[in-house]
Amino acid sequence: MLDLYGRGWQMLEGGLVTVQLCLTVLPFMIVIGLLGASAKLSRYRTLRVIGESYTVLIRGIPELLVILLIYFGGTIAVQSLAEAISGEETRVDIPAFWSGVAALALVQGAFASEVFRAAMQSIPIGQIEAATACGMTPMQIFMRIKLPQLWRFALPGLNNLFQVLIKDTALISVVGVEEIMRKAAIGAGTEKAPFTFYLVAMLIFLSFTTVSLLVFNYLEKRAARGVARA
């Protein structure tokens, strides 16, 4: 019972894949989020429209649909692109792992852009004016003034997003990536013990979300250490 019919290690392997998925998506999510937030606050109308419609589109479509679209549609797109370049019939397979990463980065990036937009807007305008008066370039202002504070303002939102991300990686099992849910499904099928396997899977997920919560709470406390509190 405790070693799960000898499949305990496989569940842990699945857990490792889930961690890999989360940590691979995280940087993409942050970069897409920062780009999206900058686009939304841009002074150019075109960029603002692009940024806003990206969020509007992603917010209204289920994650599962995005994952399926990128997995099935992405293969066809890349394949026809490869055929157009090489001029002959080629067979391309996008690994399910990377199509899953792309889908989740796209979805979470949209939500992250909202978090970063709000964080950028909570930076006092006086600081930006002071930096401009000191002769900093926009890039310097971003690196020296905005980014260090952005981190603190965005952390609670990112905490939430990372929780959602951990739970959303379970959806990638639908396209066959062998993370926790997929391993549990395999175990449940072969050993005819679905309740046990899914229970273990849920416990692993619960421990992941708990750890992420604790880490983010620590980071939030750390990020606020230089700030006077009422």
Partner 1 sequence: MFEDFIYVLGKYDTWLWRGFLLTIELLVISVTLGTLLAIPLAVARVSKKVWIQALPFAFIYVFRGTPLIGQLFMMYYGVGQLIANIDGIQDHWTWTYLRDPYWYCLLTFVLNTAAYVAEIMRGGIQNVPNGELEAARACGMSPWITYRRIIFPRMWQMIWPAYTNDVIFTLKATSLASTVTMMELTGAARKIVARTALPYEAFISAGVIYLIIVYSLTFGFKGIERYLRRSEQRNEPKTGRAKAATSA
As measured in angstroms, the least distance from the Cβ of 78 to partner 1 is 13
* Piece of the chain touching partner 1 by CB under 8 A; list 2-10, 41-49, 117-125, 195-203: 195-203
Please check whether residue 170 is in contact with residue 205, taking contact to mean a CB–CB distance below 8 angstroms: yes
Minimum distance from CB of 95 to partner 1 (Å)?
17
| Residues in Cβ contact with 49 at an 8 Å cutoff, skipping those fewer than 6 apart | none
Q: Which is nearer to partner 1, 73 or 138 (CB)?
A: 73
How far is 61 from 197, CA to CA, in rounded Å? Answer: 30
Binding mask 133-172 for partner 1 (x = CB under 8 A): ------------------------------x--xxxxxx-
Of 102, 98, 229, 221, residue with least CA distance to 159:
221
Nearer to partner 1, 39 or 201 (CB): 201
3-class secondary-structure state, position 7: coil
DSSP 144: I
Show the DSSP H helices in the chain as ranges: 8-40, 45-59, 63-68, 74-86, 96-121, 125-133, 138-140, 147-168, 180-191, 194-223
Asked if 84 is part of the footprint of partner 1 (rule: CB under 8 A), the reply reads: no
Q: Judge contact between 120 and 146, C-beta under 8 A.
A: yes
Q: Pick from 47, 50, 68, 219 the residue near partner 1 by CB under 8 A.
A: 68
Q: Which of 16, 76, 118, 143 binds partner 1 (CB under 8 A)?
A: 76
Nearest CA to 38 among 30, 27, 48, 46?
Answer: 48
- Binding residue for partner 1, selected from 9, 16, 31, 62, defined by CB under 8 A: 62
The binder of partner 1 chosen from 194, 215, 217, 224 (CB under 8 A):
194
For position 176 contacting partner 1 by CB under 8 A, the verdict is no
d(CA 70, CA 82): 17
CB-based contact 146:66 (threshold 8 Å): no
Q: Which is nearer to partner 1, 25 or 150 (CB)?
A: 25
Write the CA distances from 81 to 66, 67, 99, 119, integer angstroms: 21, 20, 16, 39
- Residue among 123, 202, 219, 223 that touches partner 1 (CB under 8 A): 202
Asked whether position 206 contacts partner 1 by CB under 8 A, the answer is yes
Shortest distance (Å) from residue 82 CB to partner 1: 17
Binding residues for partner 1, rule: CB under 8 A, are 57, 59-65, 68-69, 72-73, 76, 163, 166-171, 173-174, 181, 184-185, 188, 192, 194-195, 198-199, 201-202, 205-206, 209-210
